[in-house]
Structure 1
């Protein structure tokens, strides 16, 4: 995997089960539209299949009350580690970041499942903001998914 000059990481305890989380994000991401409609409005498959490396997905989502889109290629899928990465191809984030890879994985510590989001990125210009609001989006998304599952 390429090395990026910047990295943001957040970890969230996920009481609804790490396997459930990984299945939703990797194999059935369209369900995120139902689970978190205020955050994700659409998930379109452009090429390949959900849960398969090299597949291309386009998202419509809202961060800080601003509608955005992102086209990404799936990579680094590891069902054993419950990990998946999305490499940014096009969309709103490509205006601020030269390169970006978003990775999520689930690990269990002392019987508790933790979801860890990592954003590796390179700024196009030094004055561009770091994607802290995107990281916050993923934290809230994870909590919304847990609430949806426990309904």
Structure 2
């Protein structure tokens, strides 16, 4: 019985890696402007936008359903990576004991490559893997 898993996805982004990382790190409140059909709102619950350990609340839509995800964020500026550890959530944490997503962006030509890695532990075996959260192209276009 395997309850733990890891999923990965990559997508080319038409933005320099440093710019993309800066927006995701310190200006996540602008993400709804980039992808309003998916992300409706991002707010700081504790800390501030770009401080390691801050807690943010994301309101978004996946598969036509509204969800809320409360995360504790950790930043790795050298790797241009942000790790989001689930603290509370309307759907994802109802099906997972643990849920951690890491976004990493690396330079690639005139743009960059965004990689999302999800590491999770399901509450029970018959819960589906959280594949729907890997749709990076839906989040950014």
2:78 — aligned with what? 80
Shift of 1:58: 0.4
Scaled by the length of structure 2, the TM-score of the pair is: 0.91
| Counterpart Cα distance in 2 of 1:56 and 1:99 | 16
The structure whose residues are more often strand, as a share, is 2
List gaps (5 residues or longer) in structure 2.
none
Partner of 1:141: 139
Alignment size in residue pairs: 138
Which 4+ runs in 1 deviate beyond 4 A? 109-112
Partner deviation per Cα, 1:82-125 (whole Å, 9 max, x = no partner): 10011000012110011010100112356652110000000111
Asked if the contact 2:99–2:118 (Cα under 8 Å) also holds between the matched residues in 1, the reply is yes
In structure 2, the partner of 1:147 is: none
1:7-22 equivalences under 5 Å are 7-22=6-21
Whole-Å Cα distance in 1 between the matches of residues 76 and 93 of structure 2?
Answer: 26
1:125 matched to 2:124? The reply is: yes
Quick one: distance in 2 between partners of 1:141 and 1:18?
Answer: 17
> In the aligned structure 2, how far is the partner of 1:117 from the partner of 1:35?
18
Report SS of the residue matched to 1:30. helix
8 Å Cα contact 1:61-1:67 kept in structure 2:
yes
**How far 1:139 moved relative to its partner?**
3.1
In the aligned structure 1, how far is the partner of 2:71 from the partner of 2:83? 9
Is the CA contact 1:55–1:74 (under 8 Å) kept in the aligned structure 2? yes
Asked whether the 8 Å contact 2:16–2:110 carries over to 1, the reply is no
Q: For the Cα contact (< 8 Å) 1:10–1:139, is it kept in 2?
A: no
* Structure-1-length-normalised TM-score: 0.86
